[in-house]
Structure 1
Amino acid sequence: MAIVLGPNRYGKAETRLVRVFRNGDTHGLVDLNVSVALSGDLEATHATGDNSGVLPTDTMKNTVYAFAKEHGVGEPEEFALLLARHFVESQPQVHGAKVSIESYAWDRLGPHSFSKRGDYTRTAVVNVSDAGTQVVSGVIGLTLLNSTASEFHGFPRDKYTTLPEATDRILATAVDARWRHAGLSADWAASFGGALDALKSGFVGTYSYSLQQTLMAMGTSVLTEREEIAEVRLALPNKHHYLVDLSPFDLTNENEVFIAGDRPYGLIEGSVVRDDAPAATTEWWL
């Protein structure tokens, strides 16, 4: 029996970068969390500890900071593409680079004053390899709630089923979404803003009989509005809200007072894809 090295990669995770752009008295601010992972001809270091092909992860960190100064930081997809291509092109032993970025938004309060926005985190993941270049954008933690226009009934029941059927319930979720671009020439800012708006409108505009139905509607909304996007993958936790029993206080509760549940929660995951979309160059999920 032979024992061989399987797929592997290494890199520098979560390099925190804050870039200030000083344009006279008015400043700009970019706040990123950058992770780099490289793959390629790395068998020697695993087998014998030969590090002649191992670019130090400290160098990866330094590259992030140096590129932020030398090239600036635009949209996260643009910065990730710049970094990933650099590592593949400058290191002959590296055949693939994955750069993942979380982007934290700040709202302007004044010329040099900002307030951190907390309703979601923007993401971008770029893979550059021999198979091609792939860009995946997304959001994590986009919290949405409909106070009505949601039902859930007609499900199978067995002896362990206690859940009552619902014809008017709160539907709440914290969306983690990723969308794969069909090409590399998108206006990244406009594409992200449009996809985010489409996710929200798909949620708002759907009378929901299940969270699965809402997932499909949200993904369809993105693909309908944004032709540059080939596929959308979503994870929707069902943030349960339980009706409070107010009868001990001689009060009725007509879908007005709820307990916001924490855990456990239902988790609905799925993808919505164009049937004519180009295939992914590397496997990806949330």
Structure 2
Amino acid sequence: MTDHDIRLGDNQYGKAETRLVRVDRHDDRHEVTDLNVSTALAGDLAATHLTGDNAGVLPTDTQKNTVFAFARDGISSIEAFALRLARHFVDATPTIHRARVRIEQYSWARVADHSFVRDSGTRTTTVTYDGTAATVVSGVDDLVVMNTTGSEFHGFHSDRYTTLPETHDRILATAVRADWRHASAADTDWNTSHREAARHLVEAFADTHSLSLQQTLHAMGERVLRHREELAEVRLSLPNKHHFLVDLSPFELDNPGEVFFAADRPYGLIEGGVVRDGAPDPGLAWW
């Protein structure tokens, strides 16, 4: 074996999970923006890996400080904030050729002018920029939804190990992770786009009489694309939060679909994407 038989592979580095809270202090009420920001940079970084020469390395501490400094100017949306950071890291650092910024925004519901309670669901974005093109992906994570009827599961393949009974009425619950790719990184009303996409996801879940969670997944993605022309693709990850009817007969009690055991694990995990025909290939990895 010679030195030519081994080479440096793909690599990146960054600052993970910089926690940032910004309070916009208006005279009559406050607004809270609560973020978790992760940055990852890639480029001409062979020297630091092979010889320990760090001349081309922008320290991860600098990346963290940039997040805080840029927040001083305000955060109109997490997509716009991530785009600004990604473009800065690539355009201002000669050795950096790609930046990826992932932001999670934690929701706070207002209870008074200056008081809040943590809300459900986490808004997300991932922006990738290579000096020429940018890809913007928005999404939501841990959005827990449930239908207490209107869900079935039957007609599935069975073999010698199958014990699951068919059902024509079950609880369907999941914690939605959804990511949707914008057709363009051009300026848009990111907040409206996100709010409406999330609304259509939830409404599709509620409106679909489900014969499988796979069917529900497709209905959710399809509805988002039909109503939001700025989006090219939706990808969803739906864990099936199983609810099993409890047998109360040992206690001489009936159970007309009222008492359930909410199972923690194992659980079914359904994942897939819905793509608009003719949507441009982003050219950058985004999933």
TM-score interval for Structure 1 and Structure 2 normalised by the shorter chain: over 0.9
Classify the secondary structure of the residue corresponding to 2:203: helix
- Whether the 8 Å CA contact 1:173–1:239 is kept in 2: the answer is yes
Paired letter, 1:232: V
Q: Deviations over 1:224-266 (max 9, x none)?
A: 1100010000000000000100111222112111000100000
- Whether the 8 Å CA contact 1:131–1:281 is kept in 2: the answer is no
Classify the secondary structure of the residue corresponding to 2:16: strand
Alignment match, 1:151: 152
Alignment match, 2:77: 75
Does structure 1 residue 37 correspond to structure 2 residue 40? yes
- Whether the 8 Å CA contact 1:124–1:136 is kept in 2: the answer is yes
Structure 1 runs of 4+ aligned residues shifted over 6 Å read none
- Residue ranges of structure 2 left out of the alignment (5+ in a row): none
- Residue ranges of structure 1 left out of the alignment (5+ in a row): none
- Whether the 8 Å CA contact 1:34–1:101 is kept in 2: the answer is yes
Classify the secondary structure of the residue corresponding to 1:87: helix
- In the alignment, the residues of structure 2 paired with residue 20 and residue 238 of structure 1 have an alpha-carbon distance, to the nearest angstrom, of 37
Paired letter, 2:16: A
- Whether the 8 Å CA contact 1:122–1:140 is kept in 2: the answer is yes
- In the alignment, the residues of structure 2 paired with residue 120 and residue 88 of structure 1 have an alpha-carbon distance, to the nearest angstrom, of 31
Q: CA deviation at 1:186?
A: 2.2
Alignment match, 2:246: 244
Q: CA deviation at 1:114?
A: 1.5
Q: 1:84 and 1:226, CA in 2 relative to 1: closer, same or farther beyond 3 A?
A: same
- Match for 1:49 among 52, 59, 64? 52
Paired letter, 1:139: V
Alignment match, 1:94: 96
Classify the secondary structure of the residue corresponding to 2:69: helix
Correspondence list, 1:153-168, <5 A? 153-168=154-169
Paired letter, 1:76: I
Correspondence list, 1:243-262, <5 A? 243-262=245-264
RMSD of aligned residue pairs (Cα, Å): 1.0
Q: Which moved more, 1:184-193 or 1:215-224?
A: 184-193
Classify the secondary structure of the residue corresponding to 1:140: strand
Paired letter, 2:252: D
Q: CA deviation at 1:58?
A: 0.3
Alignment match, 1:216: 218
- Whether the 8 Å CA contact 1:96–1:129 is kept in 2: the answer is yes
- In the alignment, the residues of structure 2 paired with residue 130 and residue 112 of structure 1 have an alpha-carbon distance, to the nearest angstrom, of 41
Classify the secondary structure of the residue corresponding to 1:10: coil
Does structure 1 residue 17 correspond to structure 2 residue 20? yes
Task: Count the aligned residue pairs.
Answer: 283
